[in-house]
Structure 1
Amino acid sequence: MNNYIKSLLRATIWVAMFFVVSACEDYLERAPESIISEEQAFQNFTNFQGYVEELYHCVPNFTLSNWVSSWNWGEDEIESTAGTFTFSYNVDRGNFWAWQVENGAGNNGWLDANGTNTNRDHKNKGLWPLAWYAIRKANMGLENLSLMKDATEEERQLIEGQLLFFRAWFHFSLIQYFGGMPYVDQVLPSDEQLTLPRLSYHECADRVAQDLERAVDLLPIDWDDTTTGRRTLGKNQLRINKIMALGYLGKNYLWAGSPLMNSVSTGSQTYHAEYCKKAADTFGELLQLVESGETQYALLPFEQYNDNFYTMGQNWALAGGTEAIFRSTYYSANDTHWRISKQYKPTFMDEGDPTNFYPTANYVHDNFGMANGLPLPDDITQADPASGYDPNYPWKDRDPRFYKTIVYDGVKVVQGAIPDANQEINRYANLHTGGSYREVVTGSLSGYASRKFSPLAANKYDRAYDWGSALHINVPYMRLADIYLMYAEATLMGYNSLGAPSNTFSKTPLEAVNLIRERAGIPGVQDRFLGSVGDFLSELRRERAVELAFERHRFNDLRRWMLLTEEPYTTKTSFEFDRAGEFNTDDPTENRIVNMREEVIIERNFTSKHYWLPLKLADVSLYPDFYQNPGW
């Protein structure tokens, strides 16, 4: 923030005096004749919206942040041994400094970067510098709203609503990783010494809420239904709307009500009931709008589940369908060819970077249960009559989301021809101990692989990542299933009951969770988890781990629940086993295995300091009230 606080201090109207028709172009490179006056820059909707557009490009696209994209830092995923430069590798070893460019991140992460790149290139965009830049820009826009003379009331509300949303969103994005920050709600004068104190988490959350509540009032549900939005009809999916503002308002309240954030604000390591009630009622308002048919959002049918994350053969259509709520921008959908499509298989299968990411065995076994809705037994080497789990056939009759998300031993990866007969063995995922997909440098350390974000056919034989397949991968920041699960958690902990709905929506926490399970084709939560709020909370958290697996949520969930430092969440394991009997190429769930066991890959030695990322040393040296996080 050293350079970025100074940018806040130096803020002048000059930034606004460049007519930014599209933030996909770098306004700093425009010809001198394109420089216009302050009054012109803000006088009408077209000009002002051009100014606002740059804020969309301040949101990092974590899916495509660089040649290798690392965003799962819980106990859920592990990189191949080649990936020693990733933040996930450093997190496992307790080195949280490595989010910073100057401390090992280089250009490999999306939390930091060497500058405030707002051009259309996905690479080298960092949340830390861009957040401060965007907050300054939003404040400049808000302070110049009075110059918007040639505009309708609807146009003014759209501009103000977007600016307030982005100011709140970037503050929230910072405090969820770093704790309470100064809340900057004005353009700071350049002739005054910086003294803004770090607020408590709750104080920051309250300020975020004020901005988002106002944005909710100003923004439409769907820009296509406004006079202004009809000028860009059918191209408004990413524009900030009321549902996005409600979603983040509820999330902000739930985070404030979670044990970690409550503990640093009040000293209590429990849920804060009042914040949870606010979250529940906010999410309830959103879901009432959805279920009454007043929005463009709905859960995708399960057969289209992976459309949440990628499209193929649809002229690079943006992934997410009706379920994605908030997504980052993109400019070249085919960028996935060079990046994320090639980071979930051994390199000899996809010609990608040697760094690949794989689900951990502990995460798969602890969360992905059976088709009847029950979890696996604690000891996966033993049969479980209640759930039907058979350790010799461990992939049989599993939760249908397991098959949408996880590649297990024997799954057919290559669908077409393999010219080299010697490579025919690699048609199937050889993930057993000693199998080819366990190759030591780029292969799976855990015995599992992922298929959630990249299709099986994204391999060097079927080549689904080539231009002709039009594969476009873009993992959303927020989707509707997440809203239902956050609603369930907030309502449960706010109203302390499985059977009590919020004040704004009729579904109970149990009904909200069961709706997500029903979409996947599994029964509702079993009776054994309905005896108390605590019993149900553990199953709700498991449901969240399954439904939102590998979507960037787990690290923050473990942190806010104050479980990051606790067993078993500090352990990453592999699944070791041998094949037995005839290999079934038609149905890999029928393949028998023996000698199954979990082995520890790494133990993460965390202490309480690891609940927050450390701030940059240069930044905490700026002035006393901007102090370092405890333990760092």
Structure 2
Amino acid sequence: MKFFNKIILFSTLTLSMGFVSCTDYLDKSPDSDISSTDAFKDFHNFQGFTEELYNCIPDFNGGYWTNSWNWGEDEILNVGTNFHFVYKVDQGDFWGWQREFDGWSSGWMDRQKASDFNPGSDRFGHSLYPGCWYGIRKANMGLANLDKFSGTDEEKNLIAGQLYFFRGWFHFELMQYFGGLPYIKEVLPSDQPLTLPRMTYKECADLAAEDFRKAADLLPVDWDKTTIGAQTKGKNQLRVTKIAALGYLGKNYLWAASPLMAKGTSAGTYDYDADYAAKAANAFGELFQTIDNNDTPFGLLPWAQYSENFVTSGENGKMPGQTKDNSITEAIFRGPVYGSGWGTSAWGQAKAYGGSDINDGGVIFLPTANYVNYYGMANGLPLKDPDSGFDPNHPWKGRDPRFYNDIRYDGCRLVKKETTGDDDNTKWRYADLQTGGLFRSETRGSRTGYFNYKFITNACNKWDDGYGWSPQINIHLPWMRLSDVYLMYAESVVAATGNAQGSATTTMTALQAVNKIRERAGVADVNSKFVSDPHKFMDEIRRERAVELAFEGHRFNDLRRWLLLDKYPYNVKTSQEFLRVGAINPTDPTQDAVSGFKEVQILKRDFSAKHYWLPLKKADTQLYVGFDQNPGW
């Protein structure tokens, strides 16, 4: 067929596996068609074709009016909210990710049918599952037509690098939730039977690694410094780079090395595949060497600008993970913000953190007390360590600075204004989170004794009215940032060598990598008592991931790959119960005293081996023999 319709390029698929027939479009008028050679003949056209792959990346924190993406033991919903996927996970109902089972509850996973997939400006039109299959087919179409390209070697490398990256990325995102799948490396014909069997996880990981490796070898560190990228200088922030490809090459290998993927649900939590862990460490090491040996903006944001990792202002092309002057970039990979205007803001999301009484929201995502306990002391020790200095009578004193950044606890000021218009004009100004306190309503306040303020400011309330295009309604989280890479590097080195002082490709040791993240936050280095024992040091790495990457969507997959999802205490959610002693200290609530400080279990999640993988769509598992459902579902 000489021509193919624009709709094939820019709109729909049939079947969730991404197969499309061109016969439906033969009756279209000639001016709605473009030549199959014109689409790929030069950089402008081919890049236009490739650009749509970016539109297949869902905005996971903007896929619903209020959203849920933290499905580990990290968050719990207020009583009465039962339609979000985090609630369904708590009940053991993992079918809830699918639109057939109320996919609106996790809109970023499966909002629409693959046949309805329309990656335009509507943020609700971008979901992971249909987007991945669509993107895989599109990447394969591009790679199959590279021979039609007429341009410079640089231009061809940029196109090919993006295509290889996205083919690897879409497969990886599916694999981490569903396990081994068919790894599709060609454009599958729509008029022939489907026969591709499910591969093992490692087989898929090997093929994804090939794609990420090719992408890393072809892509630039900085698009602005390429001949073609200079034409859009200052507007290339979303384009994938060598750094992103190396980051996902390492992540792909580390996931394959992790206990669940490497050895199955019967393995132990420290039972890694050392060979794959070494490959991961080498990829991360190459990433750090590339940053060190090139003039790049990649680095950790200063602590004072830490919140810039999670907010986009839309000013001067600024994206999340950059300093205000764009001189330092911590975000390695991120997706677009879809659309513009109030309807695409995180208005409802911002109201889902501080309680309904002060912001008139209805859904509240609350940090569990057991998760808040991962935030240790400023001296670097975990709360339960006998040398930590943690005092249950002064539980807010001397904590990790990230605790004060992310968490609001009893006595914190939540309203800036001096009056709130109530009978008692100070009634809602300070968080009364003690047992039975004003903010402890299970339906309108906190059922755990804490609020999550990592992504919002204290102006997020109806009296200060901080919603008007303020940071809290411009929440936009990166998929990967550099601090995550430091911690993945440390984990992979220890898994490969059993040594906190080990390193790979670079002179940085695993211990130094963890300490670099702590130093940015003002936390003391890992205590020497944890360094000599690889299991104890691995526990500190995992605790560091829990704190540094808190509420950014990583915990559920971390618990799964470490085989901790169904183990105590990772399968319970708790509240913090206590009574305040004396009055609130309005200038420094960290000094407040409490009594009866104890945890109380709210719920226990009764998981089994089947919960380590999400169930595939029933319709997909009925497409052909060999595409089997995950065990237990």
TM bucket (normalised to shorter chain) is over 0.9
Q: Which residue of 2 aligns with 1:336?
A: 345
Q: Distance in 2 between matches of 1:33 and 1:304?
A: 51
Displacement of 1:461:
1.6
Q: Which residue of 2 aligns with 1:361?
A: 369
Displacement of 1:419:
4.3
Q: Which residue of 2 aligns with 1:483?
A: 485
1:464-613 equivalences under 5 Å are: 464-467=466-469, 471-502=473-504, 504-613=505-614
Letter in 2 for 1:43: K
Q: Which residue of 2 aligns with 1:53?
A: 51
Contact between 1:316 and 1:472, CA under 8 Å: does it hold in 2? no
Contact between 2:96 and 2:103, CA under 8 Å: does it hold in 1? yes
Q: Which residue of 2 aligns with 1:70?
A: 68
Q: Which moved more, 1:63-72 or 1:466-475?
A: 466-475
Q: Secondary structure at the match of 2:507?
A: coil
User: Deviation string for 1:76-123 (max 9, x for gaps)?
Assistant: 111112320000001011001111111132364211122323111112
Q: Distance in 2 between matches of 1:13 and 1:522?
A: 62
Letter in 1 for 2:601: V
Displacement of 1:465:
1.7
| TM-score (ref. length: structure 1) | 0.92
Q: Which residue of 1 aligns with 2:4?
A: none
Displacement of 1:12:
4.9
Q: Structure 2 vs 1, CA of residues 225 and 626 (structure 1 numbering), >3 Å: closer, same or farther?
A: same
Letter in 2 for 1:461: W
Q: Which residue of 2 aligns with 1:403?
A: 404
Which of these residues, 444, 451, 454, is aligned with residue 452 of structure 1? 454
Q: Which residue of 1 aligns with 2:20?
A: 10
Q: Which residue of 2 aligns with 1:22?
A: none
Displacement of 1:348:
2.5
User: Deviation string for 1:444-479 (max 9, x for gaps)?
Assistant: 111101111111212112222213679521111100
Contact between 2:577 and 2:600, CA under 8 Å: does it hold in 1? yes
Q: Which residue of 1 aligns with 2:320?
A: 319
Q: Structure 2 vs 1, CA of residues 340 and 260 (structure 1 numbering), >3 Å: closer, same or farther?
A: same
Q: Secondary structure at the match of 1:434?
A: coil
Displacement of 1:496:
1.9
Letter in 2 for 1:127: L
| TM-score (ref. length: structure 2) | 0.92
Letter in 2 for 1:63: N
Q: Secondary structure at the match of 2:544?
A: helix
Q: Structure 2 vs 1, CA of residues 468 and 501 (structure 1 numbering), >3 Å: closer, same or farther?
A: closer
Q: Distance in 1 between matches of 2:16 and 2:68?
A: 29
Q: Distance in 1 between matches of 2:36 and 2:183?
A: 26
Letter in 1 for 2:612: Y
Letter in 2 for 1:341: A
Correspondence 1:165 to 2:161: no
Displacement of 1:134:
0.7
Structure 1, gaps ≥5 residues long:
18-29, 379-383
Alignment: residue pair count? 608
Q: Distance in 2 between matches of 1:235 and 1:472?
A: 19
Q: Distance in 2 between matches of 1:145 and 1:118?
A: 24
Q: Distance in 2 between matches of 1:220 and 1:426?
A: 52
Q: Which moved more, 1:457-466 or 1:610-619?
A: 457-466
Q: Structure 2 vs 1, CA of residues 137 and 47 (structure 1 numbering), >3 Å: closer, same or farther?
A: same
Letter in 1 for 2:487: L
User: Deviation string for 1:170-201 (max 9, x for gaps)?
Assistant: 00000000000000111111221001000000
Q: Distance in 2 between matches of 1:316 and 1:79?
A: 35
1:154-553 equivalences under 5 Å are: 154-264=154-264, 270-311=271-312, 317-321=318-322, 322-331=329-338, 332=340, 335-352=344-361, 354-365=362-373, 367-377=374-384, 386-422=387-423, 424-467=426-469, 471-502=473-504, 504-553=505-554
Contact between 2:75 and 2:365, CA under 8 Å: does it hold in 1? yes
Q: Which residue of 2 aligns with 1:630?
A: 631
Contact between 1:406 and 1:452, CA under 8 Å: does it hold in 2? yes
Q: Secondary structure at the match of 1:437?
A: coil
User: Deviation string for 1:403-462 (max 9, x for gaps)?
Assistant: 111111111111124341435211112211122222221321111011111112121122
Letter in 2 for 1:290: I
Contact between 1:39 and 1:147, CA under 8 Å: does it hold in 2? yes
Q: Secondary structure at the match of 1:230?
A: helix
User: Deviation string for 1:294-344 (max 9, x for gaps)?
Assistant: 322100011111111125695784221111111110133753342322211
Q: Structure 2 vs 1, CA of residues 375 and 333 (structure 1 numbering), >3 Å: closer, same or farther?
A: farther
Contact between 1:368 and 1:546, CA under 8 Å: does it hold in 2? yes
Contact between 2:234 and 2:317, CA under 8 Å: does it hold in 1? no
Contact between 1:208 and 1:252, CA under 8 Å: does it hold in 2? yes
Which of these residues, 103, 106, 120, is aligned with residue 104 of structure 2? 106
